[in-house]
Amino acid sequence: MSHDSHVETRAVSHGEEPAPETGRGDVVSPIHLASTFALPALDTGLSLEDVDPARGEFLYSRLSNPTRHAVEQRLAALEGGTHGFAFSSGTAAINTALLATVEPGDHVVAFDDLYAGTRRMLEELFVKRLNVEVSFVDATDTGNVEAAIREDTRLVWMETPTNPLMKLCDIGAIASVAHEHGALLGVDNTFMSPLCQRPLALGADLVAHSTTKYLNGHSDSVGGALVTDCDELAESLGFLQQVALGNMLAPFDSYLLLRGTKTLPVRMRQHEANARRIAEYLEDHEQVSRVLYPGLESHPQYDLAREQQTGFGGVLSFELDGDIDDVVAFLGNLEQFTLAVSLGGVESLIECPAAMTHEPIPREEREAVGITDTLIRVSVGIEHVEDLLADLDRGFAAVDATHQSPSP
Ligand SMILES: Cc1ncc(COP(=O)(O)O)c(C=O)c1O
């Protein structure tokens, strides 16, 4: 299939070849569970490089597996890259990206508002154990990234929008700055999915995903992905994934991801339509002090969002005008939104970052960046939006009820 086809078409079928053993071929890829594959004969000249999954050749499933190969092809096609890799988690993908690009003594510039797990990975593993230096900067201003870049900077690592503050950074401008200084740019595109943002087309060298989120989309599989169009980088990533770390995605999860990506375009459209309605509803609500959603004109980087994104996604945050007891009452009375970490599934999830995902960060640090006790993050699902709005009404009514003076 051509890379020129539309994203909706690539999402449905790219990477899945009909299997000849079932007459005219399976319409969907079977799940290949085999850990090893029979060779036709002993070929004394056989080397790993001779085995080509693109020709339907497989040797051992850690190296390559037909189901994983199919999904890796599709992930690459969706992000507009030439090499795709599927991992056992988003964390494994990011860890592999870092190991492929930096060595002890190197310097990394990273957004100071990264996913907490990535920040901990950088601090606890790369800084403390692997002697890599990391400068965390407010990348909403590209000038801060440029000021932090040094001669030994090998990698710039970004997320946009960030979690849960929905801050953006300018991928194209940061790519130019990184490249001028001989550094690579990696972007974690989990929040947007390739439907809403294509970092490679904007100049990034590497894109990472927690496929656990939108790409799989059904909250039933943990996985990760990397996509690049750089052959040299792909070689390092392949070595780490298949030889040194063995942190690849298993066949069953590869199948789930392959299946999930088919509906990504339709899901994303519904996530976004619902998120927009909810963001507007919250913006008008007297019990809400601020709403953070890049699709609202009130977002401080709305213009950048319109420029570099092709959609606004389904995650938003808002601040309840009250205290932590109000948050407890609000969350405790919702019936449709599930109180849970994670995001990007078809069902609506809600969480309080200060008490859940970002609880390990000291309070002063949290509050200094704007993660207050009453900040609530929502991953808007694809349910009927009127049911979601009715549920939020229920939550706000419960907060009101706690403020009524007890009857005499
Ligand atoms: C933006 C982002 N990147 C990476 C990860 C890590 O992914 P995983 O949980 O699949 O390891 C997450 C998980 O929440 C995330 O939100």
CA–CA gap between residue 351 and residue 332 (Å, rounded): 11
Q: What is the DSSP letter of 350?
A: E
- CATH number of the domain that 117 lies in? 3.40.640.10
> Which of 244, 262, 280 corresponds to the end of one domain?
262
CA–CA gap between residue 367 and residue 1 (Å, rounded): 50
Instruction: Tell me whether residue 95 is in a domain.
Output: yes
Instruction: Return left, alpha or beta for 94; rule: phi > 0 is left, psi -120 to 50 is alpha, else beta.
Output: alpha
Q: For the chain, report the end-to-end CA distance as a whole number of angstroms.
A: 73
Does one domain contain both 285 and 150? no
Checking if the pLDDT of 44 tops 80, the result is: no
Q: Which of 187, 230, 233, 229 is nearest to 210 (CA)?
A: 187
Q: What is the DSSP string of 115-147?
A: -HHHHHIIIIIIITTT--EEEEE-TTSHHHHHH
Instruction: Tell me whether residue 161 is in a domain.
Output: yes
Q: Can you tell me which atom of ligand 1 is nearest the CA of 92? A: 11
Q: Can you tell me which atom of ligand 1 is nearest the CA of 211? A: 10
Instruction: Tell me whether residue 60 is in a domain.
Output: yes
* Residues sharing a CB contact under 8 Å with residue 63, sequence separation 6 or more, in sequence order: 48, 51, 242, 243
188 is catalytic: yes
Q: How many CA atoms lie within 13 A of 311 on its CB side?
A: 25
- Report how many domains make up the chain: 2
Provide the pLDDT for residue 295. 98
Query: Is the distance from CB of 68 to CB of 86 less than 8 angstroms?
Result: yes
Q: Which of 114, 192, 213, 351 to mutate to test the pocket of ligand 1 (most atoms within 8 A of CB)?
A: 213
Checking if the pLDDT of 31 tops 80, the result is: yes
Does one domain contain both 255 and 316? no
Checking if the pLDDT of 216 tops 90, the result is: yes
394 is catalytic: no
Of 10, 106, 115, 326, catalytic: 115
Quote the longest CA-to-CA distance of the chain.
92
Does one domain contain both 99 and 214? yes
When pLDDT is cut at 50, 70 and 90, the band that residue 74 belongs to is very high
* CA dihedral sign of residues 316, 320, 323, 326: negative
Provide the pLDDT for residue 408. 54
How many angstroms separate the alpha carbon of residue 71 from the centre of ligand 1?
19
Vertex 330: Cα angle to 193 and 279 (nearest 5): 40
pLDDT in tens, 316-360: 999 999 999 999 999 999 999 999 999 999 999 999 999 998 888
Q: Which of 190, 218, 351 to mutate to test the pocket of ligand 1 (most atoms within 8 A of CB)?
A: 190
Instruction: Give the other-Cβ count within 10 Å of 86's Cβ.
Output: 30
Does one domain contain both 247 and 289? no
- CATH number of the domain that 301 lies in? 3.90.1150.10
Q: How many CA atoms lie within 13 A of 347 on its CB side?
A: 13
Omega cis (within 30) before 161:
yes
Checking if the pLDDT of 407 tops 70, the result is: no
Provide the pLDDT for residue 43. 77
Supply the residue whose CA is at minimum distance from atom 14 of ligand 1. Answer: 342
Provide the pLDDT for residue 167. 98
Does one domain contain both 289 and 156? no
Locate 244 and state its tokens.
Answer: 């040194």
Does one domain contain both 290 and 257? no
Instruction: Give the other-Cβ count within 10 Å of 144's Cβ.
Output: 16
Of 170, 188, 229, 253, catalytic: 188
CA–CA gap between residue 128 and residue 48 (Å, rounded): 35
Provide the pLDDT for residue 17. 75
Checking if the pLDDT of 305 tops 90, the result is: yes
Instruction: Tell me whether residue 183 is in a domain.
Output: yes
pLDDT in tens, 79-134: 999 999 999 999 999 999 999 999 999 999 999 999 989 999 999 999 999 999 99
109: domain range? 7-262
What's the average model confidence in pLDDT over 184-213?
Answer: 98
Query: Is the distance from CB of 191 to CB of 163 less than 8 angstroms?
Result: yes
Sheet strands (E) in 300-372: 315-320, 338-339, 349-351
Provide the pLDDT for residue 1. 44
Does one domain contain both 351 and 237? no
Provide the pLDDT for residue 3. 55
How many angstroms separate the alpha carbon of residue 404 from the centre of ligand 1?
40
213 is catalytic: yes
- Position with higher pLDDT, 65 vs 407: 65
214 is catalytic: no
Vertex 80: Cα angle to 77 and 82 (nearest 5): 70
Query: Is the distance from CB of 148 to CB of 177 less than 8 angstroms?
Result: no
3-state secondary structure of 248: strand
The chain-wide mean pLDDT, for the chain, equals: 94
Does one domain contain both 271 and 230? no
Supply the residue whose CA is at minimum distance from atom 10 of ligand 1. Answer: 90
Provide the pLDDT for residue 25. 72
Does one domain contain both 328 and 397? yes
How many angstroms separate the alpha carbon of residue 40 from the centre of ligand 1?
41
Supply the residue whose CA is at minimum distance from atom 9 of ligand 1. Answer: 90
Instruction: Give the other-Cβ count within 10 Å of 174's Cβ.
Output: 26
Instruction: Tell me whether residue 370 is in a domain.
Output: yes
What's the average model confidence in pLDDT over 388-395?
Answer: 98
CA–CA gap between residue 175 and residue 207 (Å, rounded): 12
Does one domain contain both 337 and 236? no
Instruction: Tell me whether residue 256 is in a domain.
Output: yes
> Which of 224, 240, 262 corresponds to the end of one domain?
262
Provide the pLDDT for residue 186. 98
What's the average model confidence in pLDDT over 225-244?
Answer: 98
Give residue ranges with CB within 6 A of ligand 1.
89-91, 115, 117-118, 159, 163, 188, 190-191, 210, 212, 222, 224
Instruction: Tell me whether residue 295 is in a domain.
Output: yes
Query: Is the distance from CB of 15 to CB of 65 less than 8 angstroms?
Result: no
CA–CA gap between residue 197 and residue 176 (Å, rounded): 18
Query: Is the distance from CB of 47 to CB of 33 less than 8 angstroms?
Result: no
Does one domain contain both 111 and 192? yes
Of 10, 167, 213, 377, catalytic: 213
pLDDT in tens, 353-378: 999 988 888 889 888 888 999 999 99
% of the chain beyond a pLDDT of 70: 97
How many angstroms separate the alpha carbon of residue 406 from the centre of ligand 1?
44
How many angstroms separate the alpha carbon of residue 210 from the centre of ligand 1?
5
Instruction: Give the other-Cβ count within 10 Å of 133's Cβ.
Output: 16
CA–CA gap between residue 224 and residue 221 (Å, rounded): 10
Strands 206-210 and 288-292: unpaired
CA–CA gap between residue 110 and residue 186 (Å, rounded): 10
Does one domain contain both 44 and 160? yes
How many angstroms separate the alpha carbon of residue 231 from the centre of ligand 1?
25
Instruction: Tell me whether residue 281 is in a domain.
Output: yes
> Which of 262, 295, 325 corresponds to the end of one domain?
262
CA–CA gap between residue 129 and residue 143 (Å, rounded): 30
